[in-house]
Amino acid sequence: MQAPLAPPPALRAGLLGFGVVGSGTHGVLAANRDTIRARAGCAIELAVVATRNASRARAAMEDGIEVLTDPMQVARHPGVDVVIEAIGGTTDARDCVLAAIAEGKHVVTANKALLAMHGEEIFAAASARGVTVGFEAAVAVSIPIVKALREGLVANEIEWLAGIVNGTSNYVLTQMAAAGRSYADALASAQSLGYAEADPALDVGGGDAAHKLALLAAMAFGGPPRLDAVHVEGIATLQAVDFLHAARLGYAVKLLAVARRSGDELQLRVHPALVPRESLLARVDGRMNGIMVKGNAAGVTMYYGAGAGSSETASAVVADLVDLARAVRGGGQVRVPPLGFWEGVPQPRAASLGDTRLRNYLRVELLNADSAVLVLEALSRHHVPVIKGTQSRNTFVVLSGEVLESAMAAALREIEGMPGVQALTRLRVEQLE
Amino acid sequence: MQAPLAPPPALRAGLLGFGVVGSGTHGVLAANRDTIRARAGCAIELAVVATRNASRARAAMEDGIEVLTDPMQVARHPGVDVVIEAIGGTTDARDCVLAAIAEGKHVVTANKALLAMHGEEIFAAASARGVTVGFEAAVAVSIPIVKALREGLVANEIEWLAGIVNGTSNYVLTQMAAAGRSYADALASAQSLGYAEADPALDVGGGDAAHKLALLAAMAFGGPPRLDAVHVEGIATLQAVDFLHAARLGYAVKLLAVARRSGDELQLRVHPALVPRESLLARVDGRMNGIMVKGNAAGVTMYYGAGAGSSETASAVVADLVDLARAVRGGGQVRVPPLGFWEGVPQPRAASLGDTRLRNYLRVELLNADSAVLVLEALSRHHVPVIKGTQSRNTFVVLSGEVLESAMAAALREIEGMPGVQALTRLRVEQLE
CA distances from B276 to A313, A429, B114, B168 (A): 27, 9, 33, 21
**Does residue B276 surpass a pLDDT of 70?**
yes
Q: Which of B212, B254, B294, B388 is catalytic?
A: B212
Q: Cβ contact (<8 Å) for A275 and B143?
A: no
B322 is in an annotated binding site: no
- Work out the number of other CB atoms within 10 angstroms of the CB of residue A410: 16
Cα radius of gyration (chain B) = 27
Q: What is the four-CA torsion angle of B73, B76, B81, B84, rounded to 10 degrees?
A: 60
**Does residue B106 surpass a pLDDT of 70?**
yes
Task: Characterise A250 by phi-psi region: left (phi > 0), alpha (psi -120 to 50), beta (else).
Answer: left
What ranges make up the beta strands (E) of B199-353? Answer: 231-232, 251-262, 265-276, 288-295, 299-306, 349-350
Could you give the CA distance from residue B164 to residue B146 in angstroms, rounded to a whole number? Answer: 15
Q: Which residues of B touch A319 (CB under 8 A)?
A: 151-155
Per-residue confidence (pLDDT) for residue B179, from 0 to 100: 87
The CATH number linked to A411 is 3.30.70.260
Could you give the CA distance from residue A46 to residue A340 in angstroms, rounded to a whole number? Answer: 22
Q: Contact at 8 Å (CB) between A432 and B292?
A: yes
The alpha-carbon gap from A62 to the nearest alpha carbon of chain B, in Å, equals 23
Span A58-83, average pLDDT = 95
Residues A26 and A103 in one domain: yes
**Does A402 fall in a domain?**
yes
**Does residue B25 surpass a pLDDT of 70?**
yes
What is the distance, to the nearest Å, from the Cα of residue A23 to the centroid of all Cα atoms in its chain? 18
Winning range, highest mean pLDDT, from A16-20, A340-344, B58-62: A16-20
Q: Which residues of B touch A114 (CB under 8 A)?
A: none
Give the angle subtended at the CA of B99 by the CAs of B94 and B105, to the nearest 5°: 110
Residue type, B64: G
Residues A316 and A365 in one domain: no
**Does B224 fall in a domain?**
yes
B362-404 residue pLDDT tens: 999 999 999 999 999 999 999 999 999 999 999 999 999 999 9
Q: Contact at 8 Å (CB) between B244 and B277?
A: no
A85-128 residue pLDDT tens: 999 999 999 999 999 999 999 999 999 999 999 999 999 999 99
Span B61-89, average pLDDT = 96
**Does B6 fall in a domain?**
no
Could you give the CA distance from residue A322 to residue A329 in angstroms, rounded to a whole number? Answer: 10
Per-residue confidence (pLDDT) for residue A329, from 0 to 100: 75
Residues B202 and B277 in one domain: yes
The alpha-carbon gap from B177 to the nearest alpha carbon of chain A, in Å, equals 15
Residues B32 and B154 in one domain: no
What does the longest C-alpha to C-alpha distance in chain A come to?
Answer: 82
**Does A205 fall in a domain?**
yes
Q: Supply the range of the domain harboring residue B304.
A: 145-308
**Does A339 fall in a domain?**
no
Q: Contact at 8 Å (CB) between B398 and B375?
A: yes
B393 touches chain A (CB under 8 A): no
Label residue A316 by pLDDT band (50, 70, 90).
very high
Per-residue confidence (pLDDT) for residue A1, from 0 to 100: 45
From chain B residues 26-45, the ones with a CB under 8 A of any chain A CB are: 28-29, 31-32, 35-36, 38-40
Residues B294 and B367 in one domain: no
Mutate which: A260, A301, A358, vs B, most B CBs within 10 A: A301
Question: Considering its fold, how many domains does chain A have in total?
Answer: 3
Could you give the CA distance from residue B202 to residue A2 in angstroms, rounded to a whole number? Answer: 33
**Does residue A5 surpass a pLDDT of 90?**
no
Label residue B5 by pLDDT band (50, 70, 90).
low
B410 touches chain A (CB under 8 A): no
From chain B residues 172-211, the ones with a CB under 8 A of any chain A CB are: none
What are the residues whose beta carbons fall under 8 Å from the beta carbon of B419, sequence distance 6 or more?
A: B367
- DSSP characters for B29-46? HHHTHHHHHHHHSS-EEE
Per-residue confidence (pLDDT) for residue B185, from 0 to 100: 96
CA distances from A34 to A227, A327, A331, A389, A397 (A): 40, 18, 22, 46, 46
Active site residue B388: no
A144 touches chain B (CB under 8 A): yes
Per-residue confidence (pLDDT) for residue B1, from 0 to 100: 46
The alpha-carbon gap from A47 to the nearest alpha carbon of chain B, in Å, equals 18
Residues B304 and B315 in one domain: no
B155-210 residue pLDDT tens: 999 999 999 999 999 999 999 999 899 999 999 999 999 888 888 999 999 999 99
The CATH number linked to A124 is 3.40.50.720
Which of A388, A3, A242 minimizes the C-alpha distance to B428?
A242
- DSSP characters for B338-401? TTS-SS--PPPEEPPGGG-EEEEEEEEEESSGGGHHHHHHHHHHTT--EEEEEEETTEEEEEE-
Residue type, A59: A
Element (H or E) spanning A196, and its range?
A: none
A114 touches chain B (CB under 8 A): no
List the single residue in B with minimal CA-CA distance to A336: B150
Residues A136 and A149 in one domain: no
Per-residue confidence (pLDDT) for residue A211, from 0 to 100: 98
Q: What is the four-CA torsion angle of B173, B175, B176, B177, rounded to 10 degrees?
A: 90
Contacts A–B by Cβ distance under 8 A: 416
Residues A126 and A153 in one domain: no
The alpha-carbon gap from A130 to the nearest alpha carbon of chain B, in Å, equals 7
Label residue A29 by pLDDT band (50, 70, 90).
very high
Residues in chain A: 433
B147 touches chain A (CB under 8 A): yes
How much of chain A, in percent, has pLDDT values that exceed 90? 89
What are the residues whose beta carbons fall under 8 Å from the beta carbon of A418, sequence distance 6 or more?
A: A371, A374, A375, A378
Q: Cβ contact (<8 Å) for A300 and B323?
A: no
**Does A202 fall in a domain?**
yes
Q: Cβ contact (<8 Å) for B251 and A40?
A: no
List the single residue in B with minimal CA-CA distance to A263: B348
Q: Which residues of A touch B297 (CB under 8 A)?
A: 28, 31-32, 142, 311-312, 314-315, 318
Hey, is A428 helix, strand or coil?
A: strand
- Work out the number of other CB atoms within 10 angstroms of the CB of residue A117: 18
**Does A343 fall in a domain?**
no
Q: Contact at 8 Å (CB) between A131 and A104?
A: yes
**Does A340 fall in a domain?**
no
Residues A155 and A270 in one domain: yes
B197 is in an annotated binding site: yes
Could you give the CA distance from residue A102 to residue B424 in angstroms, rounded to a whole number? Answer: 54
- Looking at the DSSP bridge assignments, the partners of residue A300 are A294
Q: How many CA atoms lie within 13 A of A270 on its CB side?
A: 28
CA distances from B417 to B3, B366, B374, B379, B384 (A): 55, 12, 12, 13, 17
List the single residue in B with minimal CA-CA distance to A430: B275
Could you give the CA distance from residue A303 to residue A293 in angstroms, rounded to a whole number? Answer: 9
**Does residue B419 surpass a pLDDT of 90?**
yes
Q: Which residues of B touch A304 (CB under 8 A)?
A: 280, 300-304
Q: Which residues of A touch B392 (CB under 8 A)?
A: none
Residues A96 and A150 in one domain: no
The CATH number linked to B160 is 3.30.360.10
Residues A263 and A325 in one domain: no
Q: Cβ contact (<8 Å) for A155 and B319?
A: yes
Label residue B7 by pLDDT band (50, 70, 90).
low
**Does residue B8 surpass a pLDDT of 70?**
no
Per-residue confidence (pLDDT) for residue A327, from 0 to 100: 83
Q: Which of A212, A254, A294, A388 is catalytic?
A: A212
Q: Contact at 8 Å (CB) between B21 and B313?
A: yes
A130 touches chain B (CB under 8 A): yes
Element (H or E) spanning A333, and its range?
A: none
The alpha-carbon gap from B430 to the nearest alpha carbon of chain A, in Å, equals 5
**Does residue B86 surpass a pLDDT of 50?**
yes
Residues A102 and A222 in one domain: no
Could you give the CA distance from residue A259 to residue A266 in angstroms, rounded to a whole number? Answer: 7
